[in-house]
Amino acid sequence: MTLFRLGYVAMSVNVQNASPSQTMTYKRYQQLQDEEAALRKLERISKSNLHNSLRLLKHNKAHGIHFFRLSSKLVPLATHEDFSSWDYLSPIKDELQEIGRFAKENKMRLDFHPDHFVVLNSPKKEIFQTSMKVLKYHYLLLHHMGIDPTHRCVLHLGGKYKDKEASLERLIENWAYIPQGIQKMVMIENDDTSYTLEDCLYVCEKLNVPQIFDQHHHIANHDDSRWQDHWERVVGTWSHSELPVKMHISSPKSDEDYKSHADYIDPVMFLDFVQKANGSTEQIDCMIEAKQKDQALFQLVQQLKEHPNIVMESETTFRWKN
């Protein structure tokens, strides 16, 4: 039987005043007259974001959660073009190391999901270069946490640019211009509009990159194929990774707004995946993408406990028994 482990994204609705995504806009930065004081303020915000991230990890430990996505907004303006000479890492070195130590001591899997503007198949050189800058930022955060960056960043394939096949091939061509360390960091997720699971698998198998299966996205964008017909290939893309297979779970907000995430997880929809994927691999880490964050995880756990085929192994891990 496969062990299924639950995690959630970036923020908690239960831990008060613990946002890891506090920010400062570039416009606000420009309004501050003293540049040195403005930089110190950015550093204070960054330290606060990291402090709150550690609070969230401690909250997770208390509830037996060992799988978590960190906010990509830990350091405001770090990748802005006008801050290329700013040494943002030195002032937060201790905070980054503390997060890394805590995660390793408590065997927590941490990763990132950079924003949608990180695009590796853009025909515009400047967009590709900006994407590299953002990925390098994520790489450096992980490196200074002391966490191996390998397979820690989830990306979508990008835009179709009026020709999906050509755009897929452009990504494969652009791959040669990506530093090897960043290549190793990348995982690919099927999206709900442009690139199906089959499209992503084509790229993942070409580039030896793990495939993140998003169940909700697949239902919204699947070209009439069943995900289980491709599941063996999905698992195969993880054969070279030291991390367990990872997938995303979310539920549609409504029939009218199907692609948006609901507050909570539909257990029937999720358990359909669990039953069909059971036995295919040793462990699957399931990242909950729901508006109610950790509360959605807690509610799903309660629903799972009531199901006759679910055996809870710990507070947030379970197996399916036939």
CB neighbours of residue 183 within 10 Å:
15
**Bridge pairing between strands 310-312 and 317-320:** antiparallel
- Phi-psi region at 161: left, alpha or beta (left = phi > 0; alpha = psi -120 to 50): left
Burial 272-302 (b: 16+ CB within 10 A, else e): ebbeebbeebeebbbbbbbebbbbbbbbbbe
Q: What is the mean pLDDT of each run of 10 residues along the chain (322 residues)?
A: 98 98 92 88 97 98 98 97 94 98 98 95 96 98 98 96 95 96 98 96 98 97 92 98 98 93 97 98 98 98 98 98 90
Domains of the chain: 3-320 (3.20.20.150)
Q: What is the pLDDT of residue 200?
A: 97
Q: What are phi and psi of 67, to 5 degrees?
A: -145, 120
Q: CA-CA distances (angstroms) from residue 177 to 153, 158, 204?
A: 18, 16, 17
The Cα–Cα gap between 218 and 319 comes to 23
Q: What is the pLDDT of residue 322?
A: 85
Model pLDDT, residue 224 = 83
Query: Residue 247 in contact with residue 290, Cβ under 8 Å?
Result: no
**Per-residue exposure over 42-68, b if at least 16 CB sit within 10 Å of its own CB, e if not:** bbebbbbbbbbbbbbbebbeeeebbbb
Token output for 50: 């990291």
Residue type, 260: S
CA 25/CA 268 separation, integer angstroms: 41
- pLDDT reported for residue 223: 83
